[in-house]
Structure 1
């Protein structure tokens, strides 16, 4: 199985941080472009909406999508995600 690309996020207080790191390494070893974002003091599920960390993650996700997800054509139109 192959993945086209992947974005992972975790926090330093997340019980599953090690799993995210191992998955990131496995994806990279398999040749899959992958981003890993770790947020200081964030628990599992990351931070509440509207916090600076949440805004930073949203910016990173938007960047990842812009770089890794080409626009989709539907009926001659290009569908894009509004930021």
Structure 2
């Protein structure tokens, strides 16, 4: 086999394995129970503190058409009226 054929075989294998991956949003979960935020002392005077941020983007092929899925999940500590109004 030539180097060109080997590279082509590797590329085909990589592409086919990528398309066989599961949709990871199926496994995403978070607690639906309210909890008290544990804010570090140095941030307690801030108007707004991001405690957790999860961002996921996936591009899948569905019937030959690309589809992009976007998940944005954020837990924020709000400590002022101005931050609530935003």
The TM-score with structure 2 as length reference comes to 0.23
**Greater relative contact order (Cα 8 A, min sep 6): structure 1 or 2?**
1
Greater share of strand: 2
If you compute each CA radius of gyration, which structure gives the higher value, 1 or 2?
2
